[in-house]
Amino acid sequence: SQTIHQWPATLVQPVGSPLSLECTVEGTSNPNLYWYRQAAGRGLQLLFYSVGIGQISSEVPQNLSASRPQDRQFILSSKKLLLSDSGFYLCAWSVLAGRASSTDTQYFGPGTRLTVL
Amino acid sequence: QKEVEQNSGPLSVPEGAIASLNCTYSDRGSQSFFWYRQYSGKSPELIMSIYSNGDKEDGRFTAQLNKASQYVSLLIRDSQPSDSATYLCAVNNAGGFKTIFGAGTRLFVKA
């Protein structure tokens, strides 16, 4: 079965510090990978998605970046955190999208709660 | 106009009652529809997916889809206090890589 891991689970960082969040998926090959952010009491905001190694699409211009160095590894980074970067960061995976079927379904990791002070 | 709209709630129902959660979407090309449950402080977990008009039942949960009205709903029968959570509606175009999530409806089931 497939599992998705995220770490760290919680993080408190000062403004202006760098960030690196990691996500790994087990039990599947060539997944689509996604980074979302959820602000307190808000919906999910898609930040990045990736359909393969080195292929990153950005949905929202911001000071964050993403990389996919391996098939089942997705990294979210920032060089300098802002207060507004605080939130719950979620990584998700799905198999290759195609006709409407179970392959469209996204599954979420446990998340990283980031507080920027 | 929001692409996926949900009533934010909170929706409060007594234990044992039917909870009805509703969602509308704007893109007529949408093909895949999902309901996720999110407990406070946790990540969303998939409850059901539905792709065709009509009803789909899974245990106490029934998803209903009406593409002509661009409407999808989730019914929870015999609601339990453990069902208290935020329910997210999500919509995807077949072949597309973006799934659009609603902001969620908070459900409280009173014991």
Percent of chain A exceeding pLDDT 90 equals: 69
For residue B56, pLDDT over 90 is answered with yes
Highest average pLDDT, of A43-52, A94-103, B92-101, comes from A43-52
| Out of B49, B88, B94, closest to residue A105 by CB | B49
DSSP character for B29? T
For residue B1, pLDDT over 60 is answered with no
Residues A19, A76: contact at Cβ < 8 Å? yes
Residues A48, A83: contact at Cβ < 8 Å? no
Interface of A with B (CB under 8 A): 32, 42-44, 46, 49, 51, 57, 59, 90, 97-102, 104-111, 113
* Alpha carbon distance B48, B65 (integer Å): 12
Q: State how far Cα B82 lies from the chain centre.
A: 16
pLDDT tier for residue A103 given thresholds of 50, 70 and 90? low
Contacts of A42 in chain B (CB under 8 A): 103
pLDDT on residue B94: 61
Rounded to the nearest 10°, the torsion over CA A75, A81, A84, A88 is 30
Beta strands in chain B (DSSP E): 4-6, 11-14, 19-25, 30-38, 45-50, 54-58, 61-66, 71-76, 85-93, 99-101, 105-110
Interchain pair A43, B102: CB under 8 A: yes
A26 sits in which H/E element: strand A19-26
Closest chain B C-alpha to A108 CA, distance in angstroms: 6
For residue A67, pLDDT over 90 is answered with yes
pLDDT tier for residue B111 given thresholds of 50, 70 and 90? very high
Interchain pair A104, B88: CB under 8 A: no
User: Which has more pLDDT, B106 or A2?
Assistant: B106
**Among A104, A107, A113, the residue to mutate for chain B (most B Cβ within 10 A):** A104
Sign, CA torsion A80/A6/A104/B43: negative
